[in-house]
């Protein structure tokens, strides 16, 4: 009797916390009344970060069979990285309300789109249609105090990450100008046909967690990317890339840059997409293809990618925005959700990943699709979802991707546990509907595994950098690292 009374009292206290403006229930109350504490870890659990980092180092191992040659294409450029708020202030742009734009036509469009994503702490990439205005902004960015030049473009960044493995030969095809060629790792092979006289520049407007501009406050560090990049927008290097594969003989092909087509207009991208799909059909059978996705806004374009490109690749990499937009474009699970709030719900993410593999992948052995692997990454955790029987070493692969996210964001080669924090839920549901499981993360075994039909999921937390130095290219590094630690266990019937 007294236990029932005590439970009732504690439940009343819990309600009081919520109505009294204190939504964070004490962990002791949650445990006592049997409610799951799905909050992220508190600072008092700082030892979790150390345990997870140690477990990663102990458990991550390369597969028995490793890639020796990887070909990467086709978007490459020079990134000009500046503080976003500082540059916009230098351009005499005042803060205001945010609004998304699929294509930027003016400085006002740039300001509205930047604010729209900054207030969400989300990454985005857009095409700037006016060449002269873009060049004026680019000159201002290059001259802005503290501006830095880096290797840019998903393909080039993935190639750079692969090149950190000395036994791995890397071919890079893309519009490579003199400055980019100078900055690339000497281990990367660039075909002469990919070299051009001028560089393509992309402007990266970064902001820090908590940074404020007017009434807008960034909930987390991220960046907004824009360019007037016709070469990458047309994927002009794709045919050169495919033609170079016969001589290079890669064991793995990594493809990116489709998102750049979107800014060219529907008529142009419609025709170019047909040509791109035809070119990909010429890639020798038996070579797995990984497709790295990026920010897009045109649902028709994304729908065409799902129907025509996803079935001819064996693996894709994407973040939470791209995953939700993919579902929205295809009327998939949780398509009515306008955007993620905070850390994306693991159950909803799992539902969409299952839908992608079941609808566009090879969960049915009689399917003609080649898609059997998805590497999903968000700030707090990563998931590798694979169709059973095709990929090995995926626990190590997902941990390796999370480890590189934790170290690279802090500008380090290894994880410094004093500079990172755990934001992933320690307990989660594997689906938003039945049947589902409730799973817990164990720091000493930091990979949660579950199955749905013939799809296996591997989830690991990310140790999030408290003060990230650079967020650009993290997704590319994550996917590249995950591929290095992945092994193809069965030949795809390409």
**Residues noted as catalytic:** 476
Q: From CA 188, how far away is CA 166, in angstroms rounded?
A: 11
Q: From CA 369, how far away is CA 361, in angstroms rounded?
A: 5
Strands in 448-452's sheet, in edge-to-edge order, are 188-189, 169-173, 69-73, 252-256, 289-292, 315-319, 373-377, 381-387, 455-461, 448-452
Please say whether the beta carbons of 147 and 84 come within 8 A: no
With vertex at residue 267, the alpha carbon angle to CA 265 and CA 272, rounded to the nearest 5 degrees, is 90
Residue 246 has, within 13 A of its CA and on its CB side, a CA count of 6
Q: From CA 30, how far away is CA 121, in angstroms rounded?
A: 30
From the list 63, 41, 47, 56, the residue with the least C-alpha distance to 447 is 56
Residues composing the chain: 494
Omega into 260 within 30° of 0, i.e. cis?
Answer: no
Q: From CA 2, how far away is CA 9, in angstroms rounded?
A: 10
Residue 239 DSSP symbol: H
Residue 156 phi/psi, 5° resolution? -65, -40
Q: From CA 167, how far away is CA 187, in angstroms rounded?
A: 10
Dihedral angle computed from the Cα positions of residues 206, 212, 218 and 223, in that order, rounded to the nearest 10 degrees: -10
- H/E stretch holding 484 reads helix 474-484
Omega into 435 within 30° of 0, i.e. cis?
Answer: yes
Q: From CA 269, how far away is CA 259, in angstroms rounded?
A: 10
């Amino acid at each position: 009797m007294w236990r029932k009374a005590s439970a009732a009292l504690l439940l009343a206290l819990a309600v009081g916390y919520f109505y009294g403006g204190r939504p964070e229930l004490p962990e002791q109350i949650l445990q006592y009344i049997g409610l799951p504490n799905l909050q992220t870890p508190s600072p008092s659990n700082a030892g979790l970060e150390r345990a997870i980092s140690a477990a990663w180092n102990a458990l991550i191992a390369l597969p028995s069979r490793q890639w020796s040659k990887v070909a990467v294409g086709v978007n490459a450029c020079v990134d000009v990285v500046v503080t976003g708020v500082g540059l916009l202030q230098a351009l005499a742009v005042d803060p205001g309300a945010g609004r998304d734009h699929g294509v930027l036509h003016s400085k006002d469009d740039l300001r509205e789109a930047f604010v729209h994503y900054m207030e969400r702490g989300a990454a985005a990439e857009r095409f700037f249609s006016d060449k002269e205005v873009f060049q004026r902004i680019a000159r201002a960015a290059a001259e802005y105090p503290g501006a830095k030049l880096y290797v840019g473009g998903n393909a080039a960044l993935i190639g750079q990450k692969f090149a950190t493995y000395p036994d791995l030969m890397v071919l890079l095809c893309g519009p490579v100008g003199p400055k980019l060629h100078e900055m690339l790792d000497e281990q990367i092979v660039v075909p002469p046909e990919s070299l051009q006289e001028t560089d393509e520049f992309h402007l990266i407007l970064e902001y820090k967690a908590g940074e404020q501009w007017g009434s807008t406050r960034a909930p987390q560090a991220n960046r907004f990317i824009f360019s007037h990049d016709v070469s990458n927008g047309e994927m002009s290097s794709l045919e050169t890339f495919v033609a170079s594969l016969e001589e290079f003989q890669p064991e793995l092909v990594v493809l990116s840059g489709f998102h750049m087509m979107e800014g060219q207009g529907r008529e142009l991208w419609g025709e170019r997409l047909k040509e791109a799909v035809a070119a990909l059909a010429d890639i020798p059978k038996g070579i797995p293809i990984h497709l790295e996705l990026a920010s897009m806004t045109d649902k028709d374009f994304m729908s065409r990618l799902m129907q025509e490109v996803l079935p001819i690749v064996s693996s894709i990499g994407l973040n939470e925005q791209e995953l939700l937009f993919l579902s929205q474009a295809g009327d998939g699970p949780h398509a009515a959700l306008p955007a993620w709030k905070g850390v994306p719900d693991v159950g909803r993410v799992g539902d969409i990943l299952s839908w992608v593999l079941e609808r566009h992948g090879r969960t049915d052995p009689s399917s003609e699709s080649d898609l059997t692997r998805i590497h999903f990454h968000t700030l707090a955790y990563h998931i590798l979802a694979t169709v059973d029987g095709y990929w090995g070493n995926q626990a190590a692969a997902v941990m390796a991707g999370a480890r590189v996210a934790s170290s690279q964001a802090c500008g380090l080669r290894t994880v410094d546990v004093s500079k990172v924090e755990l934001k992933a839920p320690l307990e989660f549901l594997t689906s938003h509907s039945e049947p589902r499981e409730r799973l817990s993360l164990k720091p000493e075994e930091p990979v949660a595994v579950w199955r749905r039909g013939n799809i296996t999921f591997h989830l690991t937390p990310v140790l999030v950098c408290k003060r990230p130095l650079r967020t650009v290219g993290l997704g590319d590094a994550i996917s590249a690292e995950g591929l290095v630690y992945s092994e193809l266990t069965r030949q795809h019937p390409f």
